C-alpha cells in the first residue's frame, strides 16, 4: 500500500512570499489532516477534511493560510504571505475515517524555511 | 484540546541502556497512544493503550496506561542506535465530531554506540 505522498520535501522562501504544499493521501482514506510542526514541538493540527468538506479548521490562521481538498482526494495548503514564524515542517496525514487512529498515516512532510 | 506534558525533553544514553519516559495530563483519557518520529519522517504509531492499568509490549518497547488515566509510561529496553528519534504521546480528540490526534511536545532520544 502506497503511503501519504507530499511535495515538495523542502522549500525556502522570503517573508511575504507565497508557498503551496501538496498532499496525496492513501487511496480510499476519507479523512485528511494538515499539521504544523515547529522545531522542538509536537505536530499541531491546522485543518481536517472529511472527503472534500472541512471538519475542523479552528487552529488555521485564516488571514494567511488556506487549504482545499478538491474531489475529496488530493489537498493543497497555501500560505500567503509567509512570515518568519511559519518556518516549520508541514505534515499531511490521512485515515480511513474520522476518529480512526489505526491506519492514521503521516507523510514525510515539507520543511519550510522562511528567511 | 488538552495539553500533554512529556518528560524528559531529551535523553542521551549509551547503547544497551534502558530508557523510561512519561506523559501526563490534567484530563482523563480513554486511550493513550505512543508514536516515534525519525529524522525527516512523519510520526509512526508504536503502541496503543485502551484500559487503565494496561501494560502492552511491542518488541523491546513496553507502555503502560496509568491507573488514574491521566498518565502513561513508555520503556525501551536494551537500546540500540536505531531507537534514535522523538517519541510522542498522543490522544484522539473526539471533541465535537472531529476525531483528530493531539500530541505532546516529545522526548528526543539520542543513543551513543
Residues A61-104 pLDDT 10s: 999 999 999 888 999 999 999 999 999 999 999 998 777 777 78
Half-sphere exposure of A47 (CA within 13 A, CB side): 19
- Contacting B with CB below 8 Å, chain A residues are 4, 31, 33, 40-45, 48, 55-56, 91, 93, 98-102, 104-109
Average the pLDDT over A2-23 and give the result. Answer: 97
Q: Is the pLDDT of residue B79 over 90?
A: yes
Of the pLDDT bands very low, low, confident and very high (cuts 50, 70, 90), residue B95 is low
β-pair partners for A54:
A49
**How far apart are the C-alpha atoms of A53 and A38, rounded to whole Å?**
26
Whether the CB of B39 is below 8 Å from some CB of chain A: the reply is no
Can you give the pLDDT at residue B96?
59
A-chain residue closest to B103, CA distance: A42
Closest CA to A3 of B26, B10, B43: B43
- Cell 534514535: give the residue: B84
Burial call B79-104: b when 16+ CB within 10 Å, e when fewer:
beeebebbbbbbbbbeeeebbbbbbb
Of B42, B99, B106, the CB nearest to A42: B106
**How far apart are the C-alpha atoms of B34 and B2, rounded to whole Å?**
16
Average the pLDDT over B46-74 and give the result. Answer: 94
| C-alpha radius of gyration, chain B, whole number | 14
**How far apart are the C-alpha atoms of A109 and A15, rounded to whole Å?**
20
Average the pLDDT over B30-36 and give the result. Answer: 93
Can you give the pLDDT at residue A100?
76
**How far apart are the C-alpha atoms of B79 and B110, rounded to whole Å?**
10
B-chain residue closest to A38, CA distance: B105
Mean pLDDT across chain B: 92
Can you give the pLDDT at residue A35?
97
Average the pLDDT over B92-104 and give the result. Answer: 78
Q: Give the rounded percent of residues in chain B with a pLDDT score beyond 70.
A: 95
Amino acid at each position: 500500500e502506497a503511503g501519504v505522498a507530499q511535495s515538495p520535501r523542502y522549500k525556502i522562501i522570503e517573508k511575504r512570499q507565497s508557498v503551496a504544499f501538496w498532499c496525496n493521501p492513501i487511496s480510499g482514506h476519507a479523512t485528511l489532516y494538515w499539521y504544523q510542526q515547529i522545531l522542538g514541538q509536537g505536530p499541531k493540527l491546522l485543518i481536517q477534511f472529511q472527503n472534500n468538506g472541512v471538519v475542523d479548521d479552528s487552529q488555521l490562521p485564516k488571514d494567511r493560510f488556506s487549504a482545499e481538498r478538491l474531489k475529496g482526494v488530493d489537498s493543497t495548503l497555501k500560505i500567503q504571505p509567509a512570515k518568519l514564524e511559519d518556518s516549520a515542517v508541514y505534515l499531511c496525514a490521512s485515515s480511513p475515517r474520522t476518529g480512526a487512529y489505526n491506519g492514521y498515516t503521516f507523510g514525510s512532510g515539507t520543511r519550510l524555511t522562511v528567511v | 484540546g488538552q495539553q500533554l506534558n512529556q518528560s524528559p525533553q531529551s535523553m542521551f544514553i549509551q547503547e544497551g541502556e534502558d530508557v523510561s519516559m512519561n506523559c501526563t495530563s490534567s484530563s482523563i483519557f480513554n486511550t493513550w497512544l505512543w508514536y516515534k518520529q525519525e529524522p525527516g519522517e512523519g510520526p509512526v504509531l508504536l503502541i496503543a493503550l485502551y484500559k487503565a492499568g494496561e501494560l502492552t509490549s511491542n518488541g523491546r518497547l513496553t507502555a503502560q496506561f496509568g491507573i488514574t488515566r491521566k498518565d502513561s509510561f513508555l520503556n525501551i529496553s536494551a537500546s540500540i542506535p536505531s531507537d534514535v528519534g522523538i517519541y510522542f504521546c498522543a490522544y484522539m480528540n473526539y471533541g465535537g465530531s472531529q476525531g483528530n490526534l493531539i500530541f505532546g511536545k516529545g522526548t528526543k532520544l539520542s543513543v551513543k554506540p
